[in-house]
């Protein structure tokens, strides 16, 4: 484990662990809301913040966070009020964010294609001490929101109308979810890259759902998968000299395939056991409304 002797690897591993925790933690709510690609859109917008950071000679991480938060809020507003032309507005926002980032980086005196590539796909050697400080602060914020408000966020993600009837501030919670997703993109930028961060939000959750039957278990397993693949991908990147972001995403997809293959026979066995335990003459069970059934299974 000689890689721990290098300061840049220590910083990269710490960042990788934080990314492995935060990305699935917010991703589980995006998957429930059927907004799996939201992280990808925010990543496009965050590129403008990175470019502005280089142009104004300020921290690209903090600048990317500010721009991505504004972009996430705009995405939510478009979702509420955009109606039929909302998809066009979102497309302009996403591609405009990417184009703005490329333009600003090229206009910056210290900007280069190498800077662009490292932010798009991740880079171990570019994780500085100031980046680690920013990542720790932002990761703590993400964990505080996703774990501390898990009951409210779960309710809104499952059924907005039901949550509104129960008195929850649905729009405020939706905005909070979008802002937290934007912060998570900024956290993952150095390790996974802006173009690949969405995969780390979504795929560990999808993999965990193959084995788990409750929200709490899915949350825990998804975070465990996230930490495992980010650390494994970072170490593999060091030894094999391959891009860390691509390595982490491929490991995540591999975990999904493996757990799917494992879950298929288990699901069949459970189905046969349930069928054998059900007497033939018993009436069918009553169907519970989706939102209440989900809340009952959540374990939150």
CA distance 222 to 206: 8
Most confident option among 50-54, 94-98, 227-231: 227-231
Mean pLDDT for all residues in the chain:
83
pLDDT tens profile 185-223: 988 888 888 888 889 999 999 999 988 888 899 999 999
Nearest to 256 by CA among 31, 42, 35, 29: 31
The tokens describing 189, both together, are 């930028």
* 291 close to 162: Cβ distance less than 8 angstroms: yes
Inter-CA distances, 225 with 205, 264, 290, Å: 9, 19, 28
The tokens describing 290, both together, are 């989706």
Is 51 strand, coil or helix? helix
* 202 close to 222: Cβ distance less than 8 angstroms: no
Let me know if 220 is exposed, middle or buried by CB neighbors in 10 A (0-12, 13-18, 19+). middle
Burial code (b: 16+ CB inside 10 Å, e: under 16) for 281-293 equals: eeeeeeeeeebee
Nearest to 127 by CA among 48, 60, 31, 36: 60
The tokens describing 146, both together, are 């996703």
Residue with tokens 């779960």: 154
CA distance 46 to 49: 5
The tokens describing 183, both together, are 């912060």
The reported pLDDT for the residue numbered 83 is 58
CA distance 216 to 60: 35
Maximum Cα interatomic distance, the chain, rounded to a whole number of Å: 78
The reported pLDDT for the residue numbered 231 is 93
The tokens describing 112, both together, are 């280069």
Helices vs strands, H then E, count in the chain: 13, 0
Percent of residues, the chain, with pLDDT higher than 70: 87
CA distance 200 to 19: 9
Strands (DSSP E) along the chain, which ranges?
Answer: none
Residue with more model confidence, 273 or 286: 273
Claim: this prediction has a pTM higher than 0.85 = no
Inter-CA distances, 107 with 40, 61, 229, Å: 25, 18, 36
The reported pLDDT for the residue numbered 202 is 92
The reported pLDDT for the residue numbered 299 is 55
CA distance 118 to 53: 14
Query: Would you place residue 285 in the very low, low, confident or very high pLDDT band (cuts 50, 70, 90)?
Result: very low
């Amino acid at each position: 484990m000689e890689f721990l002797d290098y300061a840049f690897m220590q910083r990269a591993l710490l960042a990788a662990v934080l990314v492995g925790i935060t990305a699935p933690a917010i991703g589980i709510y995006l998957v429930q809301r059927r907004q799996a690609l939201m992280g990808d859109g925010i990543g496009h917008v965050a590129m403008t913040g990175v470019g502005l950071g280089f142009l104004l000679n300020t921290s690209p991480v903090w600048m990317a966070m500010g721009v991505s938060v504004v972009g996430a809020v705009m995405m939510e507003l478009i979702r509420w009020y955009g109606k039929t032309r909302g998809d066009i507005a979102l497309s302009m926002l996403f591609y405009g964010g990417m184009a703005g980032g490329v333009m600003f980086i090229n206009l910056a005196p210290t900007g280069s294609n190498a800077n662009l590539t490292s932010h798009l796909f991740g880079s171990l050697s570019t994780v500085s001490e100031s980046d680690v400080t920013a990542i720790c602060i932002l990761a703590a914020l993400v964990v505080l929101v996703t774990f501390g408000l898990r009951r409210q966020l779960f309710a809104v993600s499952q059924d907005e109308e039901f949550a509104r009837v129960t008195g929850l501030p649905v729009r405020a919670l939706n905005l909070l979810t979008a802002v937290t997703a934007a912060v998570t993109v900024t956290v993952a930028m150095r390790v996974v890259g802006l173009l690949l961060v969405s995969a780390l939000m979504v795929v560990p959750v999808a993999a965990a759902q193959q084995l788990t039957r409750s929200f709490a278990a899915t949350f825990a397993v998804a975070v465990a998968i996230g930490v495992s693949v980010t650390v494994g991908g970072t170490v593999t990147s060091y030894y094999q000299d391959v891009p860390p972001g691509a390595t982490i995403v491929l490991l995540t997809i591999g975990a999904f395939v493996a757990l799917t293959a494992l879950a298929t026979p288990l699901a069949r066995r459970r189905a046969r056991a349930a069928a054998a335990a059900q007497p033939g003459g018993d009436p069918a069970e009553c169907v519970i409304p989706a939102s209440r059934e989900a809340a009952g299974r959540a374990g939150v």
